[in-house]
Amino acid sequence: AQSVSQHNHHVILSEAASLELGCNYSYGGTVNLFWYVQYPGQHLQLLLKYFSGDPLVKGIKGFEAEFIKSKFSFNLRKPSVQWSDTAEYFCAVNAHQAGTALIFGKGTTLSVSS
């Protein structure tokens, strides 16, 4: 069975600090990988996704993530966070074939102080 582990439960940063959120998954086959963000009171929005190809994926709002197959990891990064990045971040995975549900990690709460 697939599983997703997010190591950081709550991260607190000052504006302009760099961000890295860890995500590891467990699955024996080929996967699709996602990072979603949930701003307070809003629904989930896709930040970025990896299906195949270049393991360094760039998403919206300056976020990027790197897929390291040997480590089963898909860490999210941003060089300089802003106060508006305060949100809940979820890593998710599904099997590469179409038709399967996403399995989510427990989420990481990011709080950015101005």
Task: Kindly list the residues in this chain that would bind other proteins in the complex (CB under 8 A).
Answer: 32, 34, 36, 42-46, 49, 51, 90, 94, 96, 98-107, 109
The amino acid at 29 = G
To which H or E segment does residue 111 belong? strand 108-113
Nearest to 44, CA basis, from 29, 34, 54: 34
CB of 77 to other proteins, least distance (A): 21
CB of 89 to other proteins, least distance (A): 11
87 forms beta bridges with: 110
C-beta closer to other proteins: residue 80 or 100: 100
